[in-house]
Amino acid sequence: MEKYELLPQQLLLEGTCEAADFFVPKPVKMNQVLRVHSKEYVDRLCNLELSKNEIRSIGFPLSEDLIKREFLIAGGTIMGAEKALDCGIAMNIAGGTHHSFHERGEAFCLLNDQAISAQHLLDKGYAKKILIIDLDVHQGNGTASIFRNNKDVFTCSVHGAKNYPFRKEVSDYDVSMEDNCSDSVYIDEIKSLLPKLFPDRYAKLLLVQIRRYMLIETPFLKDESREEVAIIKYPDATMYKIVNPLFCKGKGFIFFFLNKK
């Protein structure tokens, strides 16, 4: 997609990144994928053997290039998370495939890169607890389902009450926003939510997905254009200090925060 070629140029232009900051992701390894997704589903996906109904639910025609792209996205999210832990900030501008379930894909999401990355961080011992905060207008239904019975991952989703998916999953903490709520109402909701989710008992590492639906210039649920995602770790875990300015810039990001307390 052209936007993925233009995004690095924009990040350079506005001074968010320097040329030396960019890295090329490697595809996720199959054993990492299978820690989250069923082997039966992944085998059929890779062999282009999904049924017509499954392909219709995904929304993309299957191809080898599409599968390679999904593996690359998930690998980029893992690499970004590890780099964020080392140097404080990293971005995957194509990630955030939160509608993919353990045994199926959905809504343009084939593999759940957030879940794969979170499980990888747990498996490697980089974190003992992870908090996932999903601020996409659409509920992170796949992520909620994958980690439903995992006590080491706490899922929170703030989404449009009447937006996709119309049959919601149950996250550990869900907040439903009404249609056409103002940006100030939305941001105030997030600010009041954060203190509830930051206690040490919840997480050592926090993963946050944000989409461009939260533009200051546009009410929360009217902007339906999908946008980029990225990864950031912020050492002191004061999330709103970095999230609020990014709302003003209208970026879509995944954040990683390291809670050192």
Rounded Cα–Cα distance for residues 225 and 212 (Å) = 7
Q: Shortest CA distance to 134 belongs to which of 103, 110, 104, 168?
A: 168
Rounded Cα–Cα distance for residues 127 and 188 (Å) = 29
Rounded Cα–Cα distance for residues 205 and 65 (Å) = 32
- Count how many domains the chain has: 1
pLDDT at position 3 over 80? no
pLDDT of residue 119: 95
pLDDT digits (tens, 9 = 90+) for 52-101: 999 999 999 999 999 999 999 999 989 888 887 777 667 777 788 999 99
Rg (CA), the chain: 17
Contacts of 188 by beta carbon, 8 Å cutoff, 6+ apart: none
How much of the chain, in percent, has pLDDT values that exceed 90? Answer: 40
**H helices present in 88-182, as ranges:** 113-123, 141-146
Enclosing H/E stretch for 155: strand 153-160
Domain that holds residue 244: 2-258
pLDDT digits (tens, 9 = 90+) for 106-156: 999 999 999 999 999 999 998 888 888 888 889 999 999 999 999 989 899
CATH number, domain with residue 249 = 3.40.800.20
Residue 257 is given by DSSP the state E
pTM: 0.81
Distances (CA, A) of 143 to 83, 119, 132, 156: 22, 11, 9, 10
Rounded Cα–Cα distance for residues 113 and 103 (Å) = 14
Task: Provide the sign of the torsion angle of the four alpha carbons 223, 229, 232, 236, taken in this order.
Answer: positive
The more confident residue out of 60 and 259 is 60
